[in-house]
Amino acid sequence: MRLDLNKMEPMWPASLLAVALLAPQELPARVERRLSAMGTWLELEVRAADRPAALVASEAAVRAIEAVEARLSTWREDSELARLNRAPVGSALLLSPELAADLARAQGFWRASEGAFDPGLGALVAAWGLRSGGREPSSVELEAARAVGGFAAFELDGRRAVRRHASAAIEEGGFGKGVGLDAALSALRTAGVIEARLDFGGQLATLGAPCTCALADPRARARPVLELSFPTGSLATSGNSEHGILVAGERRGHLLDPRSGAPAEDFGSLSVWAADATAADCLSKLYVLGPDGALRWQAAHPEVELIVLVPKGQRLVARATSGWRGRLRALVPELELSFAEERTARAPEPQPAPADR
């Protein structure tokens, strides 16, 4: 299903109108929470009929994410995915319906991206020491890790999974946050929440209300450079500015290109909007294709919208797909904004920068 950002009526005026029509005592209650979850930081903002209802709903969302963590985290040995990663080669393992669904979705994006998104990078992650500060693998080690085959080393057939290589391992890092956010949104809907906004380690998702946020300068994460809004769905950003490893004294990105087995070339950042959070999370890994490759991929997949930010000397070039028209605002004067189809640079009048989200 495509959610055409460009064709949707802006939702914020309606929201403002709705608020204006409510007497103060009828305003829904808002609960904000900030807690650790799934190895990252979760911020929730939930509106419901009253504070007790908002609290209960927020906790349902947190518990949904905790359930996803218990299923997917490979940082703990007792998760179902960790057990799959230890399963004897060639033996079929019966997955829970939930894990089977998670992996089927990840497999769909792996195929759609022709392997640019690959959740089966465990052998490469180990070779590069991404969980232990980074190391330079020898050429033999790198080839051995590549030979594992990534996600292709797993056979999935409904709830049946077979591991085909002793070093094959699925990394939840490429899709786990998205799965967690979707589970949280589902729990919030079930709880009858009116509006919610979630920030899960930098990936945003919104329910029932538009989300306005700012993309950070890839060169300086604390500096907002481009404001954007989206009415629903989720926005995930990939880039190397916040994470990274030191290899032989050289800083390398943490995003591995499954095609080469090496850290992807650092170009800036890629932000992906999709109707659901799992899609946004998986497809933000199209970063490894580079800005042109990612935009070419989107041209055949208009159900998602992209923004690439590329530093060029003192300038910052932003290229957005068509769904973002009317929804972007430059916050710094050096930002050059263009839309993918026209490829003509135009610089909107700089606006005062609001506070970062």
Partner 1 sequence: MRALLVLLLALAPAPTPAALGEGAGKVFLTPEEALKLAFPECEIERRTEYLSEAEELRIESLARVELAGRVVRPYVARKHGELVGTAYFDAHRVRTKNEVLLLVIGPDERLKRVEVLSFAEPLEYLPRANFYAQFSGQRLDDELDLKHAIRGVAGASLSANAAAAAARRALAVQHVLAERATAVPGASAAVR
Terminal CA-CA length for the chain: 29
Of these, 17, 41, 190, 296, which contacts partner 1 (CB under 8 A)? 41
Of these, 46, 58, 255, 285, which contacts partner 1 (CB under 8 A)? 58
- Which residue, 11 or 67, has its beta carbon nearer to partner 1? 67
Q: What is the DSSP string of 245-266?
A: EEETTEEE-S-B-TTTSSBPP-
Stretch that binds partner 1, among 52-60, 81-89, 92-100, 337-345 (CB under 8 A): 52-60
Of these, 242, 265, 292, 341, which contacts partner 1 (CB under 8 A)? 242
Number of Cβ within 10 Å of residue 160's Cβ equals 12
Q: Which of residues 178-237 bind partner 1 (CB under 8 A)?
A: 200-202, 222
What is the smallest separation between the CB atom of 221 and partner 1, expressed in angstroms? Answer: 8
Supply 119's token pair. Answer: 């959740």
Stretch that binds partner 1, among 70-78, 140-148, 276-284, 329-337 (CB under 8 A): 70-78
Backbone angles phi, psi at 318, to 5 degrees: -110, 125
Q: Is 243 in the site for partner 1 (CB under 8 A)?
A: yes
Of these, 2, 34, 86, 346, which contacts partner 1 (CB under 8 A)? 34
- Please count the CA atoms within 13 angstroms of the CA of 142 that sit on its side-chain side: 14
- Which residue, 39 or 208, has its beta carbon nearer to partner 1? 39
Q: For residue 136, give the DSSP letter.
A: -
What is the smallest separation between the CB atom of 15 and partner 1, expressed in angstroms? Answer: 23
Q: In what order do the strands lie in the sheet with 160-163?
A: 92-94, 160-163, 154-157
Q: Is 139 in the site for partner 1 (CB under 8 A)?
A: no
- CA–CA distances in Å: residue 205 to residues 67, 234, 352: 18, 4, 25
Cβ 62 vs Cβ 34: under 8 Å: no
Name every residue whose Cβ is closer than 8 Å to that of residue 24 and which is 6 or more positions away in sequence: none
Of these, 2, 10, 17, 75, which contacts partner 1 (CB under 8 A)? 75
- Which residue, 46 or 103, has its beta carbon nearer to partner 1? 46
Q: Is 32 in the site for partner 1 (CB under 8 A)?
A: yes
SS3 56: helix
By CB under 8 A, the count of residues binding partner 1 is 26
Name every residue whose Cβ is closer than 8 Å to that of residue 329 and which is 6 or more positions away in sequence: 226, 227, 228, 348, 351
- Which residue, 203 or 278, has its beta carbon nearer to partner 1? 203
Q: Is 135 in the site for partner 1 (CB under 8 A)?
A: no
- Alpha-helix runs per DSSP H in the chain: 12-21, 51-72, 80-86, 97-112, 122-127, 139-147, 176-190, 277-283, 290-299
- Which residue, 33 or 165, has its beta carbon nearer to partner 1? 33
Q: Is 69 in the site for partner 1 (CB under 8 A)?
A: yes
- Which residue, 72 or 142, has its beta carbon nearer to partner 1? 72
Q: Is 281 in the site for partner 1 (CB under 8 A)?
A: no
Q: Is 80 in the site for partner 1 (CB under 8 A)?
A: no
Q: Is 33 in the site for partner 1 (CB under 8 A)?
A: yes
Q: What is the DSSP string of 287-346?
A: GGGHHHHHHHHHHT-TTSEEEEEEEETTEEEEEE-GGGTTSEEE-STTEEEEETTT---B
Of these, 15, 30, 40, 317, which contacts partner 1 (CB under 8 A)? 40
- Which residue, 55 or 353, has its beta carbon nearer to partner 1? 55
Of these, 35, 166, 246, 347, which contacts partner 1 (CB under 8 A)? 35
- Which residue, 148 or 205, has its beta carbon nearer to partner 1? 205
- The number of residues making up the chain comes to 357
Spatial distance between the Cα atoms of 46 and 193, rounded to a whole number of angstroms = 7
Name every residue whose Cβ is closer than 8 Å to that of residue 324 and which is 6 or more positions away in sequence: 5, 6, 228, 305, 307, 339
Residues that bind partner 1 (CB under 8 A): 31-41, 55, 58-59, 62, 69, 73, 75-76, 200-202, 222, 242-243, 356
